[in-house]
Amino acid sequence: MDSLTIRRPDDWHLHLRDDDMLRAVAPSSSVMGRAIVMPNLVPPVVTKADAVAYRDRIRAAGFSNPLMTLYLTEDTDPADVVAAHAEGVITAVKLYPAGATTNSASGVRDFDAVRPALAAMEEAGVPLCLHGEVTDREIDIFDRESAFLDKRLEPLRKAHPSLKLTLEHVTTKDAVDYVRAHDLGATITVQHLMLDRNDMLVGGMRPHYYCLPILKRARHRDALLEAATTDDRFFLGTDSAPHPLHAKEAECCAAGCFTAPLALPAYATVFDEAGALDRLEAFASLNGPRHYGLPPNDDTVTLVRGTPDIPPKVGDVAVFDPARPLTWTLQ
Ligand code: DOR
Ligand code: ZN
Protein backbone atom coordinates (compact mmCIF):
# COMPACT_ATOMS: atom_id res chain seq x y z
CA MET A 1 0.00 0.00 0.00
CA ASP A 2 1.49 3.35 -1.03
CA SER A 3 -1.43 5.65 -0.37
CA LEU A 4 -3.96 5.81 2.42
CA THR A 5 -7.12 7.91 2.41
CA ILE A 6 -8.92 8.28 5.72
CA ARG A 7 -11.63 10.49 7.14
CA ARG A 8 -10.12 13.75 8.29
CA PRO A 9 -8.70 13.25 11.79
CA ASP A 10 -9.30 15.34 14.91
CA ASP A 11 -6.92 16.11 17.76
CA TRP A 12 -8.63 15.30 21.05
CA HIS A 13 -5.93 16.99 23.18
CA LEU A 14 -4.11 20.09 21.99
CA HIS A 15 -2.37 23.11 23.55
CA LEU A 16 -2.69 26.19 21.37
CA ARG A 17 -1.62 28.79 24.01
CA ASP A 18 -2.52 32.45 23.40
CA ASP A 19 -1.46 35.67 21.68
CA ASP A 20 1.73 35.48 19.55
CA MET A 21 2.30 31.80 20.37
CA LEU A 22 -1.29 30.95 19.37
CA ARG A 23 -0.89 32.74 16.06
CA ALA A 24 2.44 30.99 15.44
CA VAL A 25 1.33 27.41 16.21
CA ALA A 26 -2.34 27.31 15.13
CA PRO A 27 -1.50 26.66 11.43
CA SER A 28 0.52 23.58 12.44
CA SER A 29 -2.74 21.80 13.36
CA SER A 30 -4.59 22.69 10.16
CA VAL A 31 -4.92 19.04 9.04
CA MET A 32 -7.08 18.36 12.10
CA GLY A 33 -10.78 18.91 11.54
CA ARG A 34 -11.43 19.72 15.19
CA ALA A 35 -9.32 19.90 18.31
CA ILE A 36 -10.08 19.77 22.00
CA VAL A 37 -8.17 22.79 23.20
CA MET A 38 -6.65 22.69 26.66
CA PRO A 39 -7.52 25.49 29.07
CA ASN A 40 -4.19 25.80 30.96
CA LEU A 41 -3.48 29.40 30.02
CA VAL A 42 -2.23 31.94 32.55
CA PRO A 43 -4.75 32.74 33.95
CA PRO A 44 -6.66 29.57 33.07
CA VAL A 45 -9.91 29.33 31.08
CA VAL A 46 -12.32 28.84 33.99
CA THR A 47 -15.68 30.34 33.07
CA LYS A 48 -18.04 30.20 30.14
CA ALA A 49 -17.13 33.81 29.35
CA ASP A 50 -13.40 32.91 29.35
CA ALA A 51 -14.10 30.07 26.92
CA VAL A 52 -16.12 32.25 24.55
CA ALA A 53 -13.35 34.86 24.44
CA TYR A 54 -10.60 32.24 23.98
CA ARG A 55 -12.59 30.47 21.26
CA ASP A 56 -12.85 33.74 19.36
CA ARG A 57 -9.09 34.37 19.65
CA ILE A 58 -8.40 30.83 18.34
CA ARG A 59 -10.70 31.31 15.37
CA ALA A 60 -9.10 34.67 14.64
CA ALA A 61 -5.72 32.90 14.64
CA GLY A 62 -6.98 30.64 11.86
CA PHE A 63 -8.08 27.42 13.59
CA SER A 64 -11.77 27.20 12.71
CA ASN A 65 -13.13 24.34 14.81
CA PRO A 66 -11.81 24.47 18.36
CA LEU A 67 -13.71 22.36 20.89
CA MET A 68 -13.38 24.30 24.11
CA THR A 69 -12.73 23.06 27.63
CA LEU A 70 -12.97 24.67 31.06
CA TYR A 71 -10.26 24.31 33.67
CA LEU A 72 -11.79 22.80 36.81
CA THR A 73 -10.89 24.65 40.01
CA GLU A 74 -12.09 24.28 43.57
CA ASP A 75 -14.12 27.48 42.99
CA THR A 76 -15.74 26.40 39.73
CA ASP A 77 -19.42 27.35 39.59
CA PRO A 78 -21.34 24.18 38.61
CA ALA A 79 -24.17 26.20 37.02
CA ASP A 80 -21.72 28.05 34.75
CA VAL A 81 -20.21 24.75 33.55
CA VAL A 82 -23.61 23.24 32.83
CA ALA A 83 -24.72 26.38 30.97
CA ALA A 84 -21.50 26.48 28.93
CA HIS A 85 -22.08 22.90 27.83
CA ALA A 86 -25.81 23.32 27.20
CA GLU A 87 -25.12 26.36 25.02
CA GLY A 88 -22.51 24.49 22.99
CA VAL A 89 -19.62 26.66 24.18
CA ILE A 90 -17.63 23.78 25.69
CA THR A 91 -17.16 20.12 24.86
CA ALA A 92 -15.59 19.02 28.15
CA VAL A 93 -14.04 20.07 31.45
CA LYS A 94 -10.39 19.40 32.29
CA LEU A 95 -9.20 18.30 35.70
CA TYR A 96 -5.55 18.99 36.54
CA PRO A 97 -4.34 17.82 39.94
CA ALA A 98 -2.64 20.94 41.34
CA GLY A 99 1.05 20.96 40.53
CA ALA A 100 0.85 18.04 38.08
CA THR A 101 2.11 19.92 35.04
CA THR A 102 2.50 23.22 33.18
CA ASN A 103 0.20 25.92 34.57
CA SER A 104 -1.62 23.57 36.92
CA ALA A 105 -1.29 25.71 40.06
CA SER A 106 -5.04 26.49 40.01
CA GLY A 107 -5.90 22.80 39.73
CA VAL A 108 -7.51 20.51 42.25
CA ARG A 109 -5.88 19.89 45.65
CA ASP A 110 -8.91 18.68 47.53
CA PHE A 111 -10.94 16.30 45.38
CA ASP A 112 -13.91 16.64 47.75
CA ALA A 113 -14.09 20.34 46.89
CA VAL A 114 -15.02 19.58 43.26
CA ARG A 115 -17.72 17.04 44.06
CA PRO A 116 -20.59 19.49 43.45
CA ALA A 117 -19.19 20.40 40.03
CA LEU A 118 -18.64 16.73 39.13
CA ALA A 119 -22.15 15.83 40.30
CA ALA A 120 -23.64 18.60 38.16
CA MET A 121 -21.57 17.46 35.16
CA GLU A 122 -22.61 13.86 35.66
CA GLU A 123 -26.26 14.91 35.77
CA ALA A 124 -25.97 17.14 32.68
CA GLY A 125 -23.76 14.79 30.63
CA VAL A 126 -20.66 17.02 30.56
CA PRO A 127 -17.51 14.95 29.86
CA LEU A 128 -14.48 15.18 32.14
CA CYS A 129 -10.91 14.98 30.78
CA LEU A 130 -8.32 13.91 33.34
CA HIS A 131 -4.64 14.61 33.70
CA GLY A 132 -4.08 11.30 35.46
CA GLU A 133 -1.12 11.81 37.77
CA VAL A 134 -0.84 12.19 41.53
CA THR A 135 1.43 14.93 42.72
CA ASP A 136 2.46 13.70 46.16
CA ARG A 137 6.12 14.42 46.81
CA GLU A 138 6.75 10.86 48.00
CA ILE A 139 5.43 9.20 44.83
CA ASP A 140 8.12 8.57 42.24
CA ILE A 141 7.51 10.46 39.01
CA PHE A 142 7.47 7.22 36.98
CA ASP A 143 4.69 5.86 39.24
CA ARG A 144 2.47 8.92 39.29
CA GLU A 145 0.05 7.72 36.65
CA SER A 146 -0.45 4.24 38.07
CA ALA A 147 -0.88 5.72 41.58
CA PHE A 148 -3.56 8.06 40.23
CA LEU A 149 -5.67 5.12 39.06
CA ASP A 150 -6.03 3.67 42.58
CA LYS A 151 -5.85 6.79 44.70
CA ARG A 152 -7.89 9.26 42.64
CA LEU A 153 -9.65 7.73 39.66
CA GLU A 154 -11.19 4.72 41.37
CA PRO A 155 -12.96 6.77 44.08
CA LEU A 156 -13.98 9.44 41.55
CA ARG A 157 -15.44 6.85 39.19
CA LYS A 158 -17.31 5.11 41.99
CA ALA A 159 -18.75 8.40 43.26
CA HIS A 160 -19.82 9.44 39.74
CA PRO A 161 -20.55 6.25 37.82
CA SER A 162 -22.29 8.03 34.91
CA LEU A 163 -19.72 10.77 34.41
CA LYS A 164 -18.13 10.43 30.97
CA LEU A 165 -14.37 10.20 31.49
CA THR A 166 -11.42 10.61 29.16
CA LEU A 167 -8.09 9.59 30.63
CA GLU A 168 -5.69 11.87 28.78
CA HIS A 169 -2.29 10.93 27.38
CA VAL A 170 -2.07 7.46 28.90
CA THR A 171 1.52 6.27 29.30
CA THR A 172 1.40 2.95 31.16
CA LYS A 173 0.08 -0.56 30.73
CA ASP A 174 -1.69 0.02 34.06
CA ALA A 175 -3.70 2.88 32.53
CA VAL A 176 -4.46 0.86 29.39
CA ASP A 177 -5.77 -1.99 31.54
CA TYR A 178 -7.83 0.41 33.65
CA VAL A 179 -9.42 2.05 30.61
CA ARG A 180 -10.38 -1.35 29.27
CA ALA A 181 -11.68 -2.70 32.56
CA HIS A 182 -13.95 0.28 33.09
CA ASP A 183 -14.77 1.14 29.49
CA LEU A 184 -13.40 4.70 29.57
CA GLY A 185 -12.02 6.70 26.65
CA ALA A 186 -8.34 7.59 26.44
CA THR A 187 -6.00 9.61 24.26
CA ILE A 188 -2.47 8.58 23.31
CA THR A 189 0.27 10.96 22.14
CA VAL A 190 2.62 10.15 19.30
CA GLN A 191 5.74 10.60 21.43
CA HIS A 192 4.50 7.96 23.88
CA LEU A 193 4.02 5.55 20.94
CA MET A 194 7.47 6.29 19.47
CA LEU A 195 9.74 6.68 22.47
CA ASP A 196 10.56 5.19 25.84
CA ARG A 197 12.50 6.69 28.72
CA ASN A 198 15.82 5.43 27.38
CA ASP A 199 15.36 7.68 24.36
CA MET A 200 15.15 10.63 26.75
CA LEU A 201 17.89 9.69 29.23
CA VAL A 202 20.54 7.39 27.75
CA GLY A 203 23.65 9.04 26.35
CA GLY A 204 22.56 12.49 27.49
CA MET A 205 19.37 14.13 28.63
CA ARG A 206 17.10 15.34 25.83
CA PRO A 207 14.87 18.16 27.03
CA HIS A 208 12.70 18.09 23.91
CA TYR A 209 11.56 14.59 24.92
CA TYR A 210 10.57 15.73 28.40
CA CYS A 211 6.81 15.86 28.76
CA LEU A 212 4.26 14.93 31.41
CA PRO A 213 3.31 12.25 32.08
CA ILE A 214 6.97 11.38 31.61
CA LEU A 215 8.06 8.73 29.08
CA LYS A 216 8.02 5.26 30.60
CA ARG A 217 9.70 1.87 30.02
CA ALA A 218 9.55 0.13 26.65
CA ARG A 219 7.03 -2.45 27.86
CA HIS A 220 4.57 0.37 28.57
CA ARG A 221 5.12 1.81 25.11
CA ASP A 222 4.40 -1.63 23.68
CA ALA A 223 1.11 -1.76 25.61
CA LEU A 224 0.12 1.68 24.28
CA LEU A 225 0.85 0.63 20.72
CA GLU A 226 -1.18 -2.53 21.14
CA ALA A 227 -4.10 -0.52 22.55
CA ALA A 228 -3.93 2.18 19.86
CA THR A 229 -3.93 -0.37 17.06
CA THR A 230 -6.61 -2.74 18.35
CA ASP A 231 -9.06 -1.05 20.71
CA ASP A 232 -11.70 1.55 19.84
CA ARG A 233 -11.57 3.11 23.31
CA PHE A 234 -8.25 4.76 22.42
CA PHE A 235 -7.88 7.73 20.10
CA LEU A 236 -5.60 10.46 18.83
CA GLY A 237 -4.66 13.28 21.19
CA THR A 238 -1.29 14.81 20.44
CA ASP A 239 -0.87 16.86 23.62
CA SER A 240 1.24 19.02 21.32
CA ALA A 241 2.58 21.53 23.84
CA PRO A 242 4.74 24.33 22.47
CA HIS A 243 7.28 26.08 24.68
CA PRO A 244 9.83 28.64 23.50
CA LEU A 245 13.31 27.25 22.95
CA HIS A 246 14.76 29.04 25.99
CA ALA A 247 12.18 27.32 28.23
CA LYS A 248 13.03 23.86 26.87
CA GLU A 249 16.80 24.20 26.72
CA ALA A 250 17.11 25.43 30.28
CA GLU A 251 18.48 24.50 33.69
CA CYS A 252 14.89 23.55 34.62
CA CYS A 253 13.20 22.56 31.39
CA ALA A 254 9.47 22.98 30.68
CA ALA A 255 7.37 19.86 30.01
CA GLY A 256 5.93 19.38 26.56
CA CYS A 257 6.66 18.13 23.04
CA PHE A 258 5.61 20.27 20.09
CA THR A 259 4.43 17.51 17.76
CA ALA A 260 1.65 19.24 15.81
CA PRO A 261 3.63 19.83 12.57
CA LEU A 262 4.38 16.13 12.11
CA ALA A 263 1.75 14.40 14.22
CA LEU A 264 -0.26 12.64 11.52
CA PRO A 265 2.79 11.39 9.51
CA ALA A 266 4.35 10.23 12.77
CA TYR A 267 1.24 8.31 13.90
CA ALA A 268 1.02 6.78 10.40
CA THR A 269 4.67 5.73 10.60
CA VAL A 270 4.23 3.90 13.92
CA PHE A 271 0.98 2.27 12.80
CA ASP A 272 2.77 1.08 9.64
CA GLU A 273 5.68 -0.30 11.70
CA ALA A 274 3.09 -2.20 13.76
CA GLY A 275 1.47 -3.60 10.61
CA ALA A 276 -1.72 -1.76 11.51
CA LEU A 277 -2.21 0.97 8.91
CA ASP A 278 -5.73 -0.32 8.39
CA ARG A 279 -6.45 0.77 12.00
CA LEU A 280 -5.20 4.34 11.66
CA GLU A 281 -8.56 5.72 10.57
CA ALA A 282 -10.35 4.30 13.60
CA PHE A 283 -7.74 5.73 15.98
CA ALA A 284 -7.36 9.12 14.30
CA SER A 285 -10.79 9.86 12.90
CA LEU A 286 -13.58 7.62 14.26
CA ASN A 287 -13.03 6.59 17.90
CA GLY A 288 -12.76 10.13 19.27
CA PRO A 289 -15.97 11.44 17.71
CA ARG A 290 -17.81 8.31 18.85
CA HIS A 291 -16.58 8.79 22.42
CA TYR A 292 -17.74 12.41 22.44
CA GLY A 293 -21.04 11.68 20.66
CA LEU A 294 -20.09 13.71 17.58
CA PRO A 295 -20.16 12.73 13.90
CA PRO A 296 -16.85 12.01 12.17
CA ASN A 297 -15.61 14.65 9.75
CA ASP A 298 -17.17 14.56 6.28
CA ASP A 299 -14.04 15.02 4.20
CA THR A 300 -10.87 12.94 3.89
CA VAL A 301 -7.09 13.33 3.93
CA THR A 302 -4.60 11.26 1.96
CA LEU A 303 -1.24 10.07 3.20
CA VAL A 304 1.38 8.71 0.80
CA ARG A 305 4.67 6.93 1.35
CA GLY A 306 7.50 9.39 1.65
CA THR A 307 9.36 11.57 4.10
CA PRO A 308 7.61 14.76 5.13
CA ASP A 309 9.42 18.05 4.96
CA ILE A 310 9.20 19.24 8.57
CA PRO A 311 10.62 22.62 9.59
CA PRO A 312 13.00 22.34 12.58
CA LYS A 313 11.29 25.29 14.24
CA VAL A 314 7.97 27.09 14.13
CA GLY A 315 8.59 30.61 15.38
CA ASP A 316 10.65 30.19 18.52
CA VAL A 317 9.52 26.61 19.15
CA ALA A 318 11.55 23.53 18.26
CA VAL A 319 9.48 20.92 16.45
CA PHE A 320 9.59 17.43 17.98
CA ASP A 321 12.29 15.34 16.30
CA PRO A 322 11.73 11.59 16.69
CA ALA A 323 15.33 11.00 15.52
CA ARG A 324 14.26 8.45 12.95
CA PRO A 325 12.79 8.84 9.49
CA LEU A 326 9.06 9.19 9.07
CA THR A 327 7.78 7.05 6.24
CA TRP A 328 4.41 8.67 5.53
CA THR A 329 3.58 12.19 4.48
CA LEU A 330 0.47 14.18 3.71
CA GLN A 331 -0.36 14.40 0.03
O1 DOR B 1 4.10 17.84 28.85
C2 DOR B 1 3.08 18.46 29.07
N3 DOR B 1 2.94 19.75 28.67
N4 DOR B 1 2.10 17.86 29.74
C5 DOR B 1 1.02 18.52 30.14
O6 DOR B 1 0.19 17.94 30.77
C7 DOR B 1 0.89 19.98 29.88
C8 DOR B 1 1.68 20.40 28.75
C9 DOR B 1 1.84 21.89 28.63
O10 DOR B 1 0.85 22.62 28.79
O11 DOR B 1 2.96 22.36 28.36
ZN1 ZN C 1 -1.84 18.44 27.70
Q: Where in the chain are the domains?
A: 11-262
Residue ranges of the alpha helices (H) in 89-172?
A: 115-124, 144-148, 154-159
Give the atom of ligand 1 at the shortest distance from the alpha carbon of 168: 6
Neighbouring C-alpha atoms within 13 Å toward the C-beta of 102: 25
Please list the residues that pair with 300 across neighbouring strands: 7
Which CATH code for domain 11-262? 3.20.20.140
CB 9 within 8 A of CB 286: no
Q: Which amino acid is at 17?
A: R
| Residue from 239, 272, 298, 321 carrying the catalytic annotation | 239
pTM beyond 0.85: yes
CB 35 within 8 A of CB 241: no
Pocket of ligand 1 contains residue 32 by CB under 6 Å? no
Q: Which amino acid is at 200?
A: M
- Whether 143 sits among the annotated catalytic residues: the reply is no
Using CA positions, which residue lies closest to atom 2 of ligand 1?
Answer: 256
User: Tens of pLDDT along the chain (331 residues)?
Assistant: 899 999 999 999 999 999 999 999 999 999 999 999 999 999 999 999 999 999 999 999 999 999 999 999 999 999 999 999 999 999 999 999 998 887 888 899 999 999 999 999 999 999 999 999 999 999 999 999 999 999 999 999 999 999 999 999 999 999 999 999 999 999 999 999 999 999 999 999 999 999 999 999 999 999 999 999 999 999 999 999 999 999 999 999 999 999 999 999 999 999 999 999 999 999 999 999 999 999 999 999 999 999 999 999 999 999 999 999 999 999 9
C-alpha 309 – ligand 1 centre gap (Å): 25
Residue ranges of the alpha helices (H) in the chain?
A: 19-25, 48-60, 78-86, 115-124, 144-148, 154-159, 173-182, 190-194, 197-201, 218-230, 245-248, 263-273, 280-281, 287-292
C-alpha 77 – ligand 1 centre gap (Å): 25
C-alpha 14 – ligand 1 centre gap (Å): 9
